[in-house]
Structure 1
């Protein structure tokens, strides 16, 4: 998942890909939002979109990858009391 954000207009584009182990199936989704306050908020909206999309598709095991260090730090701080497995945060969806 990733996001692009314009500081001048607040316009944001979001996107995510589910790439299961089956080579013939790849699910891509994107979305645009007119007014977002920051690049961090755009990245957070991208992960939320991917989470909701995974839940709709009944995917039970998902890895989220992000290039936003600030977002990952915020998530890790918020959920630091969650059970960890090999450095990964385990959530139930």
Structure 2
């Protein structure tokens, strides 16, 4: 299962939109997912060299983060729940952590 350039672009835009809707900063997401900012940037860009498991995990993480913030996530048009079944055959999908707000 490989995404073509148009699908990568559309998925990247959906990820970035949900990042904005979540209200989180890149450093928050990178810390929660245990990734460097560079690796996270590649995942957000859906770079062909990025790990597809990372993309799916980020998708799930951002969707939940938007919901936790009280918003409505931008729907994913390529990384759909239906396509998750096919992705499980090809890639190791990991459960996404949740962002925990720390109050002083």
Q: What interval of TM-score do these two structures reach, taking the shorter chain for normalisation? A: 0.3 to 0.5
Q: Which has the larger radius of gyration?
A: 1
Compare the two structures and name the one with the higher helix fraction: 2
> What TM-score does the superposition give when structure 1 sets the normalisation length?
0.35
